[in-house]
Amino acid sequence: MTNPLTRPQHIAALLTLGLPLVGSHVAQMLLHVTDTILLGWYGVTELAATVVAGSSFFVVFILGSGFAQAIMPMVAQALGRGDETQVRRDTRMGLWLSILFGALTYPIFWTSGDWLRALGLGSDVALLGQDFLRIAGFGMIPALIIMAMKSYLSALARTQVVLWSTLVAVVVNGLLAYPLIFGAWGMPELGIRGAAIASLLVQCLNALILVIYAATLPALRPYRLFQRFWRPDWHAFGQVFRLGWPIGITGVAEAGLFHASALMMGWVGTVALAAHGIAMQAASLTFMVHLGLSNAATVRTARFSGEGDAAALREGAKMAIVISTCFGLATVAVFLIFPVQILSLFTDLSKPEAAEILIIGSGFLAMAALFQMTDAMQVIALGLLRGIKDTRVPMCAAAVSYWLIGIPASYILAFPLGYGGIGLWAGIVIGLGAAASALMLRFWMLAPKVAKPADPAQLHASGA
């Protein structure tokens, strides 16, 4: 039996795996930040439409990404058991489910103008949102393929390529989005449609890079991921589906909280919605750090679970929580000290609405500072729970926290009690706090029970 890892070794291993994932998530977020900045310079109505359309696309993407995210703990546990054949089967079926989901959901984007108006948005914002989504919707399949490949490569500790491919995407997106939005360099001025076209092309490029890497790297050839890709494995298909759909619903529950806040912010006013979008972009950017650490915690927890090392699993979990907490405290300080400087990055200060956006957005960033710690803890807890293949109870906890606590709290504080946009953000804080408490409690109740390698037959019979 090998000697147990020390705490510094746990931290080093987590950061070695997690930092490239953090960088990848931050870079992925920069794709959206780039579009937000460019469209903020282009026009307030276009910015507001992008906030709502991008949020809508993200909700659908998160639902479908559950199958791709299920690949990560399944592959990591299979490696912990030494089962290389299952690595290939689980990943292939995760890709199958991702592609199928992407194809089935495009009608949602085609009809987006109707349901955006039905949700209470003005016709100008709804029509621009539809222009964006009818183009960007074609990117759902490559976006889900990217997520599936990231999960597969991360479980195999190949996180560097995930980072570099995303950085390439950021650069290419900037080079494409600017001329397509503003009509520079001989390109037609397409506004919000230009941003959608750039996003679609970049997603296709990123998916192609990761697929080629996985197919051609000599160290990964023994897995033969794409050999006879068309052949089904219905047992693995069912396992990925059973583990993945609760992950997707959990993500939708959280994304739905933020999407509902964006829609209700639209009721407050267009300028408030634009300020909300900017503040949310900043908060989401810092959240990507915690998400990367959560992914690394999932991989390491799953490997320890597959190996049956309960002590290492628990110690690794503690170190993930410590690192995430330290970063969260640093973010709180930045948001409280430099709100105007952050907001100015996203706003054309020469526009007449700029002063109002800075005033409103500063209040929103103060509220974002409040939920940094709760947001960090809920995503770390989710990552740890997925590492031990516990997804259904967390799904229920998330749904209750976000939909039955967070969204009603946002509405009541914003409108009946009259706190407006600040009330909406306070409701977000309440929902995230409830989720963090429930999910952390769930993990530490289950962690002592992980004492031996998981048996695949038992996992299948239990519906995991």
**pLDDT by residue (tens digit) across 60-111?**
998 999 999 999 999 998 888 878 888 889 999 999 999 999 999 999 999 8
Lowest-pLDDT choice from 22-31, 373-382, 388-397, 426-435 = 22-31
Rg of the Cα atoms in the chain: 22
Q: Which of 202-211, 341-350, 421-430, 433-442 has the lowest mean pLDDT?
A: 341-350
- Contact between 357 and 343 under an 8 Å Cβ cutoff? The reply is yes
CB-based contacts of 361-365 (< 8 A; 24+ apart in sequence): 361/275, 361/276, 361/278, 361/279, 363/421, 363/422, 363/425, 364/275, 364/276, 364/279, 364/280, 364/421, 364/422, 364/425, 365/279, 365/282, 365/283, 365/335, 365/336, 365/339
Residue pointed to by tokens 């990560």: 72
> Whose CA is closest to 265, among 185, 367, 176?
367
More confident residue, 435 or 280: 435
What torsion, rounded to 10 degrees, do the Cα atoms 6, 10, 13, 14 define?
-170
| Contact in structure between 426 and 409 (CB atoms under 8 Å) | yes
Which range, of 2-11, 167-176, 248-257, averages the lowest pLDDT?
A: 2-11
Q: What is the pLDDT of residue 33?
A: 74
**Between 231 and 454, where is the model more confident?**
231
**Degrees, nearest 5: CA angle 129-175-357:** 50
% of the chain residues with pLDDT over 70: 95
The CB-side HSE value for 157 (13 A sphere, CA atoms) comes to 12
Q: Are 75 and 155 in contact (CB under 8 A)?
A: yes
pLDDT at 179: 94
| Mean pLDDT across 332-347 | 84
242 against 276, higher pLDDT: 242
Q: Give the number of other CB atoms < 10 A from CB of residue 424.
A: 27
pLDDT of residue 431: 93
Task: Summarize pLDDT for 147-203 with one digit per residue, the tens.
Answer: 999 999 999 989 889 889 989 998 998 899 999 999 988 888 898 899 999 999 999
Mean pLDDT of the chain: 86
Query: Given this model, what pLDDT does residue 450 score?
Result: 66
In angstroms, the CA 253 to CA 59 distance is 9
Rounded to whole angstroms, the Cα distance separating 92 from 86 reads: 10
Would you say residue 120 has pLDDT above 80? no
Angle at which helices 159-182 and 192-216 cross, to 10°: 160
Residues 15-44 pLDDT 10s: 988 889 888 888 877 777 788 788 878 887
Secondary structure letter of residue 373 according to DSSP = H
2 confidence band (pLDDT: 50, 70, 90): low
Q: What percent of the chain has pLDDT over 90?
A: 41
Least confident segment among 89-98, 230-239, 441-450: 441-450
The pTM for the full model equals 0.80
**447, 451, 452, 458: CA torsion to nearest 10:** -50
> For the residues 391-418, what does the mean pLDDT come to?
93
- The DSSP H or E segment spanning 150 is helix 140-155
User: Binning pLDDT at 50, 70 and 90, where does residue 416 land?
Assistant: very high
The pLDDT score that the predictor gives to residue 256 is 78
Task: Provide the pLDDT confidence category of residue 432 given band limits of 50, 70 and 90.
Answer: very high
Please state the rounded mean pLDDT for residues 226-248: 90
Give the integer Cα–Cα distance in Å for 341 and 318.
34
The reported pLDDT for the residue numbered 3 is: 67
Confidence of residue 211 (pLDDT cuts 50, 70, 90): very high
* CA–CA distance, 300 with 422 (Å, rounded to integer): 38
Predicted pLDDT of residue 415 = 93
Which pLDDT score is estimated for 30?
76
> How sure is the predictor about 391, in pLDDT bands with cuts at 50, 70 and 90?
very high
9 vs 451, higher pLDDT: 9
Provide the b/e sequence for 73-82 (b: ≥16 CB within 10 Å).
bbbbbbbbbe
User: Residues 326-354: what's their mean pLDDT?
Assistant: 82
Note the pLDDT of residue 460: 42
pLDDT of amino acid 231: 87
First to last CA, the chain: 29
pLDDT bin (cut points 50, 70, 90) of residue 1 is very low
